Every structure is written in C-alpha cells, then in structure tokens.
C-alpha cells in the first residue's frame, strides 16, 4: 500500500480509502467487519463514512453505518484515519439537515456518539447547501475544529466555483481552511478534470475521489440489455440515481472498448479502472466500496500498480468524451 499526504497537511493517508455506505443495509455487521479486516490487512488506514449511511436506507436506518464502523474501531481508533460527513437529512424537522450552524454542531456530536470516539480526523460537508450562507457554515466548521471534535475539514460534491468561494471566505475571515474535496471520478465521469482538479492542485487540496468503478459498472459484470443484478443499481432510493448516471448504451459501448484494452495488458477492468484514477497526480486517495470481502481483491491490487503510460493514454482516449458531461450524449 502506498501513502500520500492529504493536501498540504502533514496527515498521511493510504492511496485507497475504504468507503462504508453499504454497511448496515446491504451488508450486515459481521460481513462489514470482514470487509474492514481485509482492507486493514492490505494497509488501508483511511475509512470514510457519513451520518446518512447506509445508502438506500431511510430515516429509520440513518446512522447505522457509523455505529458499525465505531464498533469495529473500538480499541484501535488511534491506528486509523476516520472521516465522516454531514448535511444530509437526519430527522423529520426542517433543521435536521443542511449546513447551518445548528445542524452541523448537532450532527458532529451525534456522529461522535455513534462512532464512539472523541474526534474524527476529517469532517466533511456531504454536499453544498446554497440556503445557508457560506460564512455561517465555515464558522461552524471552524468551531468544530477548535473544539477538538475534528482535526481537519473538507467538502464533497462541490462545484469548483463554490469551493473557490469557500476557500476565499475562510481565508478572509481567518477561519479553519478546507483541506480536501471529495468528488465523483472514474473513466465514465471525468468532468472534474476541467475545473475542480486544477483548482484543487492550485490550492493544494487533497482529493478523495469516490465511485471509481461507476457504481460497479466498471467491473464488467453487468451486461447491456439485462436487468441490473441485486446491488447498487437496485437498492432502495439509490437505484434510480445509479441507473440514471451510468446505465446507458453509450457507457456499455465504452466498457467493451475498455475491456479490450486492459485484456491485452493482462489486467482486469476493475483493477485498471482504479489504477487509472490513482494515476492522476491530483488524486490523493480513491474510495473503494464493497458488499462482500471478496470484492476487494481486485480493487486493492490497484494500490501498488503503476499503470503503463501507453495503456493510460489508451484509456484516456477511449473515455475522453466523459470529460464533457451529459452534453456529449
């Protein structure tokens, strides 16, 4: 396993980060523990979760993932870098979501209780909240860090211009600076290369990319014309999101071309897809998810794979149209 500093901080994290959004719904606690065990044995020291997980659940299940992660970490908390997120809906009241001071201060305390820890290493906004002034949000994050409840703060799913504005407002107000951004990134979603990644590089932000396998489509196990197998494409309220993102004729055609390229190199599409993400110098760590321990074998192999430059160039070319987004359809 290779390690890299998170942005301009002194915090070293594994190039692969374990995502946990299946824990507690798609994956029960005993299997979740096996997944974390396998990742830890491979050198993964970075675990990412969120208060609204498990994905595909509802208000009756939110928080369960953090409880599972906290239970596994008991007695070994100091050996791992723990990240969680807030902003999503956690209760029936209007203020039980968003990036207001009230919700963030309530949310961090609730996450710490579920995780059974005094602090998280990285506390992130799960998404942008345009209804709350950035200054209020940034001041709340600053208070969370100064209180010792989080070591660093970051964001996820932010547009480049909103991230740039947040960085500027924090600097002007002398508030704790964001150190990372967590965007979606894969061979089938490359839009962030145009503005977000250059911004992250210029501002020396860590980039923790998620969905490197495009919801599992880049494993090559799904076939065009078939009904999606049980998993992320069928699970609860996430099913339509993933099908809308990836389940298209164009994507299946691209995957066929990608499979031909990696097969000639003697690699699996799964391993090559994650290695391609890590080959981008702007990426600090790629988040891997699994619902069964055996699914990690091919993805963990990407951590120590130096992708051949000629193969990377070929994968770049095959997937080039995904830099432009939906307009390319």
Using DSSP's 3-state secondary structure scheme, residue 314 falls into: helix
Residue 54: is the preceding peptide bond cis (ω within 30°)?
A: yes
What proportions of the chain, in percent to the nearest 5, are helix, strand and coil?
45, 15, 40
Question: How many other β-carbons are positioned within 10 Å of the β-carbon of residue 193?
Answer: 15
Query: How far is Cα 83 from Cα 210, in angstroms, rounded to an integer?
Result: 13
The dihedral built from the CA positions of residue 266, 305, 160 and 237, taken in this order, carries a sign that is positive
Q: Which of 153, 175, 171, 164 is nearest to 198 (CA)?
A: 164
Specify burial of residue 141 (Cβ count, 10 A radius: 0-12, 13-18, 19+). Answer: buried
Token readout for 293 is 């321990």
Q: What is the DSSP letter of 326?
A: G
What amino acid positions are annotated as catalytic residues? 53
Give the Cα separation of 148 and 276 in Å (integer): 36
């Amino acid at each position: 396993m290779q390690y890299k500093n998170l942005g301009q901080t002194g915090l070293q994290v594994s190039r692969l980060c374990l995502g946990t959004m299946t824990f507690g719904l798609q994956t029960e606690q005993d299997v979740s523990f096996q997944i974390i065990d396998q990742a830890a044995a491979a050198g993964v020291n970075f675990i990412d979760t969120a208060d609204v997980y498990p994905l595909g659940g509802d208000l009756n299940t939110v928080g369960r993932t953090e409880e599972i992660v906290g239970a596994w970490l008991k007695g070994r908390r100091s050996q791992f870098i723990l990240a969680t997120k807030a902003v999503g809906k956690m209760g029936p009241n209007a203020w039980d979501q968003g990036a207001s001071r009230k919700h963030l201060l309530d949310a961090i305390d609730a996450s710490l209780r579920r995780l059974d820890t005094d602090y998280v290493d990285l506390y992130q906004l799960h998404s942008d909240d345009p209804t709350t002034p950035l200054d209020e949000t940034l001041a709340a994050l600053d208070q969370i860090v100064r209180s010792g409840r989080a070591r660093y703060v970051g964001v996820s799913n932010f547009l480049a211009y909103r991230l740039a504005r947040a960085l500027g407002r924090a600097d002007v107000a002398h508030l704790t600076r964001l150190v990372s951004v967590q965007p979606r990134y894969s061979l089938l979603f490359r839009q962030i290369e145009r503005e977000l990644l250059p911004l992250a590089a210029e501002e020396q932000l860590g980039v923790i990319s998620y969905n490197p396998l495009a919801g599992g489509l880049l494993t090559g196990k799904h076939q065009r014309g078939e009904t999606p197998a049980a998993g992320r494409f069928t699970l609860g309220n996430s099913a339509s999101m993933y099908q809308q993102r990836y389940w298209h004729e164009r994507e299946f055609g691209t995957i066929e071309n990608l499979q031909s390229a990696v097969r000639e190199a003697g690699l699996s599409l799964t391993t090559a897809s994650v290695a391609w993400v890590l080959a981008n110098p702007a990426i600090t760590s790629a988040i891997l998810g699994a619902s069964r321990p055996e699914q990690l074998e091919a993805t963990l192999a990407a951590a120590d794979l130096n992708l051949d430059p000629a193969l990377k160039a070929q994968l770049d070319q095959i997937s080039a149209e995904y830099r432009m987004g939906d307009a390319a359809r």
